[in-house]
Amino acid sequence: MKVGILGATGYTGQELLRILNQHPEAQVVYLGSSSSAGKSYEEIYPHWNGSNYALSEEEVPEVDVLFAAMPHGITAQRAEGLLQRGIKLIDLGADFRLVNYQEYESWYKTQHASPHLLQHAVYGLPELYRDEIQGKGLIANPGCYPTASLLALVPLLQKQLIKNDPIIIDAKSGVSGAGRGIAQPLHFAEVNENFKAYGVGEHRHTPEIEQQLSKAANEKVLISFTPHLVPMNRGILATIYVQPYEGVGEEDLRNTLAEAYEQEEFVHLLPKGTWPQTKYAYGSNHAFLQLKFDQRTGRAILVSAIDNLIKGASGQAVQNMNILFGLPETMGLGTKGLWP
């Protein structure tokens, strides 16, 4: 299986290469980069010393699957040509996640270059849409915050155990989620020993989460979503506050999540009382869930943890590739998280 990566020097691009480099069935034959074309990969990332990967901005060669790890807007411009060549396209960006291109244009403040392709894309969250992914040519790999949030919420909404309002997602991410680009707020000394909220009420993952929750609930869902920056490299933890319907208790919620994921290799509802930590997922494709029904307030609290670069990006993309090509879903993704 021949594989290419567009945007190979970003954090998700590099993580894709790390995983695919070890994948028994994948051979990485193309690493696209506009900024570093012509350089060897180890010039950018010296820990790849001894590998023979080179960066190119030439036309994508014949590959079976291409991962696009690029800023939003660019993949939409290039997708049609690639799909016409029969290349499976797994987009780690946002261009094909929102079914409604106007919503995309409103939140991303740019025109969508190929809205007609949206109907051909599938939202690549395997635990929810495994069947639809198989055989597709265009996979919209979910965002990191949506992955963490949806794994916890979708089964509960599908079973109508919780109301669709209020749903409050208070999410916290390591800094790699902001990408490799430099900026004053990402200077080490301004992030370290610091914690803050950002994009309050305006983060672009909001409509992506709402779209999927609305689909699950079968009615329009609006959420409060607040992301925060944690002084660490990797990991997302989402703390979610929901209102169960009258008569719904903790065991109903727990059983629903347990059933939803009992066959899943990567999603773990932890034993009662054990709360997820982002480090459980560090360097792995695993996700961890826990919940509690708070008798005092009648609300339930859900916590979900993933590695934002793996289950929240590159690992999930490889999981999607495995599904596309009929491979075992865990191939190349078997490792447990690093501890400590």
User: Applying CB under 8 A, does 14 fall inside the site for its own copies?
Assistant: yes
- What's the CA gap between 243 and 27, in Å, rounded? 47
The single residue of 66, 79, 144, 161 carrying the catalytic annotation is: 144
Judged by CB under 8 A, which of 106, 195, 249, 272 binds its own copies?
Answer: 195
Tell me which residues in 247-306 interact with its own copies (CB under 8 A): 265, 268, 270-271, 274-284, 286, 288, 292, 294, 296-297, 299, 301, 303, 305
Q: Which is nearer to its own copies, 43 or 131 (CB)?
A: 43
Residues 6+ apart with CB under 8 A from 310: 15, 19, 281, 283, 284, 285, 316, 333
The three-state secondary structure class of 51 is coil
- What's the CA gap between 89 and 124, in Å, rounded? 11
Smallest separation (angstroms) from its own copies to the CB of 114: 28
User: Of all helices (H) and strands (E), which one includes residue 10?
Assistant: none
Smallest separation (angstroms) from its own copies to the CB of 59: 27
Judged by CB under 8 A, which of 2, 21, 29, 73 binds its own copies?
Answer: 21
Judged by CB under 8 A, which of 102, 106, 110, 194 binds its own copies?
Answer: 194
CB 69 within 8 A of CB 12: yes
User: Applying CB under 8 A, does 311 fall inside the site for its own copies?
Assistant: no
**Would you give the DSSP letter of residue 105?**
H
User: Applying CB under 8 A, does 39 fall inside the site for its own copies?
Assistant: no
- What's the CA gap between 204 and 101, in Å, rounded? 14
Q: Which is nearer to its own copies, 12 or 82 (CB)?
A: 12
User: Applying CB under 8 A, does 27 fall inside the site for its own copies?
Assistant: no
Torsions phi, psi of 38, nearest 5? 95, -15
Examine the residue annotation and report whether 98 is marked as an active-site residue of this protein: no
- What's the CA gap between 255 and 272, in Å, rounded? 11
Judged by CB under 8 A, which of 74, 108, 163, 241 binds its own copies?
Answer: 241
Q: Which is nearer to its own copies, 132 or 250 (CB)?
A: 250
Per-position x/- string for 139-178, each x denoting binding to its own copies as judged by CB under 8 A, each - no binding: --------------------------xx-x-x-x-xxx--
Which of 221, 79, 219, 205 lies closest to 145, judged by CA?
A: 205
Tell me which residues in 48-87 interact with its own copies (CB under 8 A): 48-51
Smallest separation (angstroms) from its own copies to the CB of 190: 6
Applying CB under 8 A, the site for its own copies has a residue count of: 86
User: Applying CB under 8 A, does 15 fall inside the site for its own copies?
Assistant: yes
User: Applying CB under 8 A, does 337 fall inside the site for its own copies?
Assistant: yes
Smallest separation (angstroms) from its own copies to the CB of 232: 5
Residues 6+ apart with CB under 8 A from 29: 2, 3, 4, 61, 63
Smallest separation (angstroms) from its own copies to the CB of 154: 19
Buried/exposed 94-132: b ≥16 CB within 10 Å, e otherwise: bbbbbeebeebeebbeeebbbbebbeebbbbbbbbbeee
Smallest separation (angstroms) from its own copies to the CB of 258: 12
Find the farthest-apart pair of alpha carbons in the chain and give their distance in angstroms, rounded: 63
113-to-10, 78, 79, 110, 142 alpha-carbon distances in Å: 23, 9, 9, 9, 19
Buried/exposed 179-202: b ≥16 CB within 10 Å, e otherwise: eeeeeeeeeeeebeeeeeeeeeee
Per-position x/- string for 203-232, each x denoting binding to its own copies as judged by CB under 8 A, each - no binding: -------------------xxx-x-x-xxx
Smallest separation (angstroms) from its own copies to the CB of 200: 5
- What's the CA gap between 92 and 141, in Å, rounded? 5
User: Applying CB under 8 A, does 18 fall inside the site for its own copies?
Assistant: yes
User: Applying CB under 8 A, does 108 fall inside the site for its own copies?
Assistant: no
User: Applying CB under 8 A, does 190 fall inside the site for its own copies?
Assistant: yes
Q: Which residues participate in catalysis according to the annotation?
A: 144
